[in-house]
Amino acid sequence: MKAVLAAEWLKLRSVTSTYQTLGTAALTVLLGAAWTLYVSGLADERGELRAAAPEQGFLPLVQISLAVLGVLAITSEYATGTISTSLIAVPKRDTLLLAKAGIVGLATLTAANAVLLVTYSASRLIASGHKLGFNNTSITDDLPMLLASGLSVTALALVGLGLGTAIRSTAGAIVSIVALLFVLPGVVNYLPPPWNTRVATLLLPNLVPQIADQRLSSRLGDGLLPPWAALAALLAYPLVALAIGYHQLNRRDV
């Protein structure tokens, strides 16, 4: 298993797409700084201003960028035909997929937390002395939200890996990720009550504040999940996606 992990790590760091997706995620730092400068200027004019914290406002950029990394970790091999070589080297398909999941998970968890923490630190440094809504808390207060956000990015990257394994199409897997993050929450709003709020609490974009035990979304009413249940729901996403991916990987010839 150690050799398989080393091989997967070599694959991940030897392709240009890995650095492109990491670079796109890192744009969050620059966008967060620009946003903070902008709202700080408005706060100076108005005396005080409530504004979204940049590490939360730009979280979808980090999620999508690193989800694409998870997708490409498997679909690039199908596109180039190197998946056959991988399966010759590692005949046990569960071992191969588990190794890919471990490397993708570790890489995205590290990158996501680094990007979010730097964005958080830079925005608070720029906003110091300005009366902004997100500048009234300490790192201790915001740490649960930061950790939950980083975990959501990793979960989505593993969902991308699972969907990429099942669909074998980069475009198809990315479209599925976008639908999960942006389309499905809008569709759920049209469900009859109380099913709209019940389903909404289980959607990935709404799980992060619930894990951090922050009651941020009043439209969800009193039906929010306790932190442990929200965490379990978040972990279910990659587990289900990887299970589907493994089923398809195991039953198809390459």
Tens-place pLDDT, residues 103-124 = 999 999 999 999 999 999 998 8
pTM value is: 0.92
> For the residues 29-49, what does the mean pLDDT come to?
81
Task: Specify if 212 maps to a domain.
Answer: no
Task: Specify if 211 maps to a domain.
Answer: no
Amino acid letter for position 6: A
> For the residues 129-149, what does the mean pLDDT come to?
81
Amino acid letter for position 101: A
Task: Specify if 235 maps to a domain.
Answer: no
pLDDT at position 222 over 60: no
Task: Name the domain count of the chain.
Answer: 1
145 CB contacts (<8 Å, ≥6 apart)? Answer: 56, 208, 209, 212, 214
Q: Look up the domain containing 174 and give its range.
A: 2-182
Task: Specify if 19 maps to a domain.
Answer: yes
Task: Specify if 122 maps to a domain.
Answer: yes
Task: Specify if 213 maps to a domain.
Answer: no
